[in-house]
Chains A and B, each alone.
Chain A
Amino acid sequence: MRQMVARRLAFAVPVLVLVALAVFLLGAASPFDPIFQYYGVGIFTASAAEVARVRETLNLDAPVLVQFGQWLGGLATGDLGHSRSLRQPVVEVLVQRVPWSLLLAGTGLVLALVLALVLGVLTAWRQGGWLDRAVTATAHALEGLPSFVLALGAVAVLALGLGWLPAGGLTDAGAEPTFGQVARHLVLPVAVLGVSQAPWLVLHLRASLLSALAEDHVIGARARGLAEHVVVLRHALPTALLPLVNLLGARLPELVTGAVLVEVVFSWPGIASAVVSAGLDLDFPLLAAITLLTTAAVLLGALLADVAVLLLDPRVRADG
């Protein structure tokens, strides 16, 4: 197993370098000149000498591979450059925003998992019943519904219509981020993220539990006359959960995607909403850093999922 982890980590390095290089090449081929973004309207009043000096500081005229090399060198020393849209070092942006994103995505994932476990087991248990039909139909509909529509709907009904929860932000305007404040503002985004991620998991758990229920060891458990809940929860469910762990690792990119949209709608101060503003403002250093960071997170998540399967299932061999 140690070998597998080492191999996967070794594979991650070229992937990350490749992703960073691709982002840089795309940036170099872009028809936009970052200097205009940096100055905004001020470009019309700035003197040519000053513009040239800024170009020099931002290192805009070096060949792309040189820029890439310098960026990689900076990465090694923990210097990721300067975010041009937020006017602060990229590292600082990440340090400020990553915890909030992790909080949102983590609790959202937990909620989605809980929903998937409860609904997946209930629907497979009573396959064809009214709950099964209702949940499956809702899940299919939610799969087709963009998560930002769900978010806007939740804001319209729960925040504006009923006034139960705040519509967005991390705290009330001007308030300190205390536990109570953040928790109250976290409820709606997490609910939306969890509900939008859950359908896929519910449907997969339902399908894999249904096929687990037809396996020999489950039939054996039934033949021994065990109670229904023991058969389903103790004999079938563990078998059905194994593929789910793997799928969860593969699902992480979707979680990031969902988090981007939810953060934007709820003005959540995480990295995902920073990506969008960076994209709108052509903030290249920030875009590159966040792309790399999320790719690393996804690779790490997939690795953790595989290790978990390896630990949970003795039949799986690491050298596969």
Chain B
Amino acid sequence: MADITVTQTVPSPAAPGPGWRSAARRRAGTPRGRGAPVRSRVRLLGSGGVLVVLVASALLVPWLAGLDDRAVDYAAVRRPPGPAHPFGTDEAGRDLLVRSLAGLRISLLVAAVCAVVSTVLGTVLGAVSGLAGGWTDRLLMRLVDAVNAVPHLLLGIVIVALYRGSVLAVIASIALTHWTSVARIVRGEVLSLRDRPFIDAAISGGAGRRRVLRRHLLPAVVPQAALCAVLILPHAVWHETALSFLGLGLPPHLASIGNILGDGRDAVLVGSWWIVALPSALLVAVALAVAGLGGSWRDRMVPRRRSELAL
């Protein structure tokens, strides 16, 4: 029934669903997504390129160019963006572009550690939960519900407040709140994998429970888990930025983007908008680039899923 309208206008048997076209389009009879492949390619290359440039410049530029993000210049305090300082300077005359890149490096490093820790934690707990079933599964899933019920920033504030001033506390507070979604996804994946023939084959070949988990199930969930880790990254950056902005995050000598923004809060009130606007533009660029990459990844998965459905 659903296919009728689609096959009327589009010769290829496109599946219904998100591919529905607006009435105006359908009347005009133009096939959907004429530029779609080009656009998705642009998105993939664009977001990949932006991410590579940002990460590379955050990691390499201060080191290669020998620029010091802590170089103070009281003759040039709160200069608006200009040729000498593309991002302007802050209230101590430090160059904001260099400072933002150094901050981005710290933010990204902390976020990467958080993403890896929470992905590993989530993968292990999710796999155990999916494989063990029964009470273990129920208890672990209730634990996931319980962690999700506490607003994550609030839990982060509690953890960080009680162990203030340590990078470890920030990492723990982010990792301990972000593993739940990974655990859910991995558990679902394990549940769907464990009835497949190759698992039965492994078991009939004499593999024990632990071997099945290590050699057959975990490698199969690695792609999903890796995608999770990538998607957690902007969340972790965001979380760290929020904590640092509130004055509860990284210690001041590790100037992450959040610390820069927290310092810039008062500067905005006297009209120095660039101290907040430009570093946060970097954050948005990172978030958009990662979201774009995740989106292309998912789009690539769709044809596979469609062919599976057709079979």
A residues lining the B interface (CB < 8 Å):
11, 15, 18-19, 23, 26-27, 29-32, 125-129, 140-141, 143-146, 148-149, 152-153, 155-156, 160, 167, 207, 210-211, 213-216, 219, 222, 228, 252-254, 256-257, 260-261, 264-265, 275-276, 278-280, 282, 287, 290-291, 294-295, 298-299, 302
Q: Would B149 and A299 count as touching, CB distance under 8 A?
A: yes
B residues lining the A interface (CB < 8 Å):
1-2, 4-5, 16-25, 142, 145-146, 148-155, 157-164, 234, 238, 241-242, 245-248, 261, 264-265, 268-269, 271, 273, 276-277, 280, 283-284, 286-288, 291
Rank and list the top 3 A-B pairs by shortest CB-CB distance, nearest first. A144-B287, A279-B161, A30-B162
Q: Would B161 and A287 count as touching, CB distance under 8 A?
A: yes
| 10 more A-B residue pairs beyond the given contacts A128-B22, A144-B287, A261-B246, with a C-beta to C-beta distance below 8 A | A15-B142, A26-B159, A29-B162, A126-B24, A144-B284, A152-B276, A155-B269, A282-B164, A290-B154, A299-B149
Q: Would B283 and A144 count as touching, CB distance under 8 A?
A: yes
Q: Would B158 and A287 count as touching, CB distance under 8 A?
A: yes
Q: Would A276 and B248 count as touching, CB distance under 8 A?
A: yes
Which one, A23, A127, A153, contacts B158 given CB within 8 A?
A23
Q: Would B22 and A126 count as touching, CB distance under 8 A?
A: yes
Q: Would A214 and B16 count as touching, CB distance under 8 A?
A: yes
Residues of A within 8 A of B150 (CB): 19, 253, 291, 294-295, 298
Residues of A within 8 A of B277 (CB): 149, 153
What are 29 A-B contacts defined by CB distance under 8 Å? Answer: A26-B158, A127-B21, A127-B22, A127-B25, A140-B291, A143-B291, A144-B287, A144-B288, A145-B287, A146-B261, A152-B264, A156-B271, A156-B276, A160-B268, A160-B271, A211-B17, A214-B16, A214-B20, A215-B2, A228-B23, A257-B242, A275-B154, A278-B161, A279-B161, A282-B162, A287-B157, A290-B154, A295-B151, A302-B149
Residues of A within 8 A of B1 (CB): 216, 219
Residues of A within 8 A of B284 (CB): 141, 144-145
Q: Would B268 and A152 count as touching, CB distance under 8 A?
A: yes
Q: Cα distance A261–B246 when bound, in Å?
A: 8
Q: Cα distance A151–B74 when bound, in Å?
A: 29
- Name A250's closest neighbour in chain B (CB-CB): B148
Q: Cα distance A275–B161 when bound, in Å?
A: 10
- Name A222's closest neighbour in chain B (CB-CB): B5
Residues of A within 8 A of B24 (CB): 126
Q: Cα distance A146–B261 when bound, in Å?
A: 10
Residues of A within 8 A of B148 (CB): 253
Residues of A within 8 A of B152 (CB): 253, 257
Q: Cα distance A30–B160 when bound, in Å?
A: 10
Residues of B within 8 A of A27 (CB): 162
Q: Would B18 and A210 count as touching, CB distance under 8 A?
A: yes
